[in-house]
Amino acid sequence: MPKVQKPRRPVPPVKKGGRPSPATVAELLLEIGVEELPYQFITPALAVLKDSAEQLLKDQRLAFQSARTLGTPRRLTLVIEGLAIQQTSMVKEAMGPSKSVAFDPLGQPTRAATGFAAGQGVAVQELQIRRTPKGEYLFAVKQVQGRPANVVLKELLPQLIAKLSFPKAMKWNSAGVRFARPVRWLVALYGGATLPIEAAGITAGNRTEGHRVLGSAKGIAVRDADSYLKGLERQGVIPDPERRRRMIEEQIAAICKSTGFRLNIDTDLLDQAVYTTECPNAIIGSFKETYLDVPEEILITSMKEHQGFFSLMNKDTGKLVAHFITVTNNRVKDMSLIREGNERVLAARLADAKFFFDEDRKVKLEERAKKLSGVTFHQKLGTMAQKQERVAKLVTTLAQLAGLKDIMVNACRRAGELCKADLLTGIVGEFPTLQGVMGGYYARLDGEDREVVAGIGQHYQPHSMEAPIPATLTPQVLSVADRLDSLAAFFHVGIVPTGSEDPFALRRHAAAIVRILLEGLTRVNLGQAVREAQSIVVAAGIKAAPIQGDAQKRLVDFLFERVRHYVKTVHELRDDVINAVLTVSDRQSFELRDLVAKMEALESVTTKPEFDPLIVGFKRAHRLVEKEQWDRKPVDEARFQHPTESALYQATAKEREKMMSAMTRGEYGQALDALVRLKPAIDAFFTAVMINAEDPVVRSNRLSLLQEVDDLFNSFADLSQIVVQGG
């Protein structure tokens, strides 16, 4: 029978970020050369490349100091600094059969022992016997020596390349590999030596290609990251996207300084310029001033979406000027040819936009609205005409709930009746991002009221959590109505976001409603608004999904999730405070600003020194009334046996009156002060009496008294959720 051995201590791995001696590390350079990638694909691909590389190296016990990525439209590059030249050794252990199964009565190994040893690649006599909670078991312990890094990397790098995925991919050769664009070359260098890995049907070497126009047709040989960067720069390529970004920003700033114009800042366009160029060169161009008669949103959108051009504004007036900036991927002595070419292309685009605008003006929005019955909103929810009809009804109701004057109610109704009509215009067909904006323009040209114009023009705002909400009252109410109708309709047919899936942006709609009602100019009872939206959807005859449960509660709970996120991030309120208020809120009738005021008052009172002991006492009462069974009869003062019972009863009645009065006025700090004043009476009660009295009548009466205290506290919030020290 083998001798019991002490387990060997595993060799500790070298941690990432450590400082191995220079002789034990080397640099890794991997470049994937491709046909021009769509600019939107590059940033996500570089993030995946870096994260996957770090994880794979960690899994393979290859220590390194740092990892970074570089990228252009034609290359995705990974540089690993300080990569160990050998894997860290490790001790590998495996648990086998029990001692009683592994050895016969004479102490000879059974087939279970020999089979386990053979499977682990060790001799039977090298097995260890260890005592475990289950008894004595066999263990195979062996030292696994680290392999050279270059051997591991030959296996690892093809896996790393295979981990890259894209929204759209293609196959282009017999290898059958899918990639965003065809892979044309690979560079793989470790410690200056080529790693001849194979991926996508290509064997890696040490030669890369420069700029498609400015570079040499032969490409260049590289030894390491330093020669790679310097060599590519001589070939017209700036591999570092952050350096390209700085170059573009500096070039644009210089143009603006020399011309006196102001850049219409667009971060998306800047990203596009960074990732569509290898050698960025910003130049200014112009177009005919007659095009400035077209709404500037059309011109800006046309320049951006069709050409990727930056628009320029007059510094003094803030109006669009007849100039643009484009970032080219080339550098020649005479840039005028490139500028003129861009101007010709843009002129054609702007001529098309002007044509659409002029044609759109020939038909009034009211006439277009009648044709929305031919546009499907959703197969389960009918046409866009039906959607617009529901929105018009709901926005009228919401305006009335908000207490707006008749003239404003009428403006909201009219805006609701026309808000989707611009979907049938040529401009919105060409530039869908301008829906709403163009409706506002056409409404003004049709002679509609100013509030109606604003309502239509801004009702798609906010476009994101960071974007501004509509500026005035009518578009705020219309935006809420439009989004609330979508929520009510989709919930009604059972289309509800699950996990990360939210194809109809219902979470974004809910978040926008919360922002508008908390940051906007009006107060609307959201509980009533939800009920109205649902009743309008039902009245429209839309077939409901067979979902069990309270429809109002489902939708309100969905909205409350957005409320939680908003007050936590914007007001920085505690989770327990938020949940305490929302848990007891009436799902049928509530107003968001009122809920937030309650939360803020509750969080404020939690800082008072007497509050934590109060909540500890309250929670004791809360647990007792939850746990104990009694007949829930009203409190009978005649059955009080101790003065503290009467004192608590009278204090509760007195503070209840003050608290309810304060809550009616919305003075929630004063309401909570009433609860705080109950602390002495609660403490005295628990000190003086036993709840579980021998007399069941006395016991029941005391529990009823505690129930009154519990109900009073819970009329403000579910204070049992408040986290306190010792609570």
pLDDT above 90: residue 332: no
pLDDT above 60: residue 594: yes
**% of the chain surpassing 90 pLDDT:** 76
Q: Which residue do the tokens 């604003």 mark? A: 454
Main-chain phi, psi angles of 310, to 5 degrees: -85, 135
Considering all CA atoms of the chain, what is the largest pairwise distance in Å, rounded to the nearest integer?
106
Strand pairing category for 25-34 and 220-221: unpaired
Confidence of residue 725 (pLDDT cuts 50, 70, 90): low
On whether the CB atoms of residues 75 and 49 are closer than 8 A, the answer is no
Lowest-confidence segment of 64-68, 125-129, 176-180, 609-613 by average pLDDT = 609-613
- Taking the C-alpha atoms of residue 456 and residue 657, their distance in angstroms, rounded to an integer, is 47
On whether the CB atoms of residues 398 and 529 are closer than 8 A, the answer is yes
What is the three-class DSSP state of 467?
coil
Spell out the CATH class of 606-721: mainly alpha
Of 289-303, 595-609, 703-717, give the range with the top mean pLDDT.
289-303
Which pair of structure tokens corresponds to residue 726?
């010792």
- Taking the C-alpha atoms of residue 395 and residue 401, their distance in angstroms, rounded to an integer, is 10
Q: Which residue do the tokens 């009428």 mark? A: 410
pLDDT above 60: residue 137: yes
Which pair of structure tokens corresponds to residue 252?
């644009």
CA geometry: angle 541, 544, 546, nearest 5 deg: 155
On whether the CB atoms of residues 719 and 713 are closer than 8 A, the answer is yes
Q: What pLDDT score was predicted for residue 23?
A: 59
Lowest-confidence segment of 8-22, 142-156, 175-189, 573-587 by average pLDDT = 8-22
The 3 state secondary structure assigned to 137-194 is: EEEEEEEECCCEHHHHHHHHHHHHHHCCCCCCCECCCCCCCCECCCEEEEEEEECCEE
On whether the CB atoms of residues 630 and 708 are closer than 8 A, the answer is no
- Taking the C-alpha atoms of residue 605 and residue 655, their distance in angstroms, rounded to an integer, is 16
User: What average pLDDT score do residues 451-458 get?
Assistant: 97
Strand stretches in 546-611, DSSP E: none
Comparing 393 with 633, the larger pLDDT belongs to 393
Q: What is the mean pLDDT of the chain?
A: 92
Per residue in 209-224, pLDDT tens?
999 999 998 899 999 9
Which residues lie below 8 Å from residue 581, measured CB to CB, with a gap of 6+?
Answer: 595, 598, 599, 602, 717, 718
- Taking the C-alpha atoms of residue 558 and residue 138, their distance in angstroms, rounded to an integer, is 55
Alpha-carbon distances, residue 225 vs 81, 208, 219 (angstroms)? 9, 12, 16
On whether the CB atoms of residues 703 and 630 are closer than 8 A, the answer is yes
End-to-end CA distance of the chain: 58
Q: What pLDDT score was predicted for residue 16?
A: 46
pLDDT above 50: residue 18: no
Burial (Cβ within 10 Å: 0-12, 13-18, ≥19) of residue 426: middle
| Domain extent listing, the chain | 22-87+148-234, 90-144, 241-360, 366-570, 606-721
- Tell me the chain's radius of gyration from C-alpha atoms: 36
Strand pairing category for 25-34 and 183-190: antiparallel
Confidence of residue 292 (pLDDT cuts 50, 70, 90): very high
- Taking the C-alpha atoms of residue 343 and residue 417, their distance in angstroms, rounded to an integer, is 41
User: What average pLDDT score do residues 527-547 get?
Assistant: 94
DSSP state of 34: E
Cross-sheet strand order for the sheet of 128-132: 90-98, 135-144, 128-132
Which pair of structure tokens corresponds to residue 654?
């007195």
For 693-703, letters b (16+ CB in 10 Å) and e give eeeeebbbbbb
> Which residue(s) pair with 208 in the sheet?
220
Residue-by-residue DSSP string for 214-257: TS-TT-EE-SSHHHHHHHHHHTT----HHHHHHHHHHHHHHHHH
User: What average pLDDT score do residues 313-320 get?
Assistant: 95
User: What average pLDDT score do residues 573-591 get?
Assistant: 94
Which pair of structure tokens corresponds to residue 470?
């509509």
On whether the CB atoms of residues 241 and 70 are closer than 8 A, the answer is yes
Q: What pLDDT score was predicted for residue 426?
A: 96
Confidence of residue 269 (pLDDT cuts 50, 70, 90): very high
- Taking the C-alpha atoms of residue 37 and residue 170, their distance in angstroms, rounded to an integer, is 12
> Which residue(s) pair with 33 in the sheet?
75, 185
Per residue in 60-101, pLDDT tens?
999 999 999 999 999 999 999 999 999 888 788 889 999 888
- Taking the C-alpha atoms of residue 154 and residue 160, their distance in angstroms, rounded to an integer, is 11
Lowest-confidence segment of 129-143, 144-158, 200-214 by average pLDDT = 129-143
On whether the CB atoms of residues 564 and 486 are closer than 8 A, the answer is no
Helices within 361-461 (DSSP H only)? 365-369, 384-401, 406-418, 426-430, 437-445, 450-458
pLDDT above 70: residue 8: no
Main-chain phi, psi angles of 16, to 5 degrees: -60, 140
**Domain covering 22-87+148-234, topology:** Alpha-Beta Plaits (3.30.70)
> Which residue(s) pair with 560 in the sheet?
none
Cis before 462? omega within 30? yes
On whether the CB atoms of residues 381 and 489 are closer than 8 A, the answer is yes
Per residue in 458-514, pLDDT tens?
999 999 888 999 999 999 999 999 999 999 999 999 999 988 889 999 999 999 999
- The CATH code of domain 366-570 reads 1.10.3210
**Dihedral sign (CA 167, 172, 177, 183):** negative
- Taking the C-alpha atoms of residue 455 and residue 416, their distance in angstroms, rounded to an integer, is 8
User: What average pLDDT score do residues 536-547 get?
Assistant: 91
Q: Using alpha carbons, select from 548, 556, 504, 554 the residue that is nearest to residue 529.
A: 556
CA atoms within 13 A on the CB side of 531: 11
- Taking the C-alpha atoms of residue 311 and residue 18, their distance in angstroms, rounded to an integer, is 48
User: What average pLDDT score do residues 571-598 get?
Assistant: 94
**Amino acid of residue 685:** F
On whether the CB atoms of residues 286 and 323 are closer than 8 A, the answer is yes
Cα dihedral value 29, 34, 40, 45, nearest 10: -40
Helices and strands (H, E) in the chain, number of each type = 26, 18
Which pair of structure tokens corresponds to residue 215?
């570079």
Helices within 9-98 (DSSP H only)? 39-59
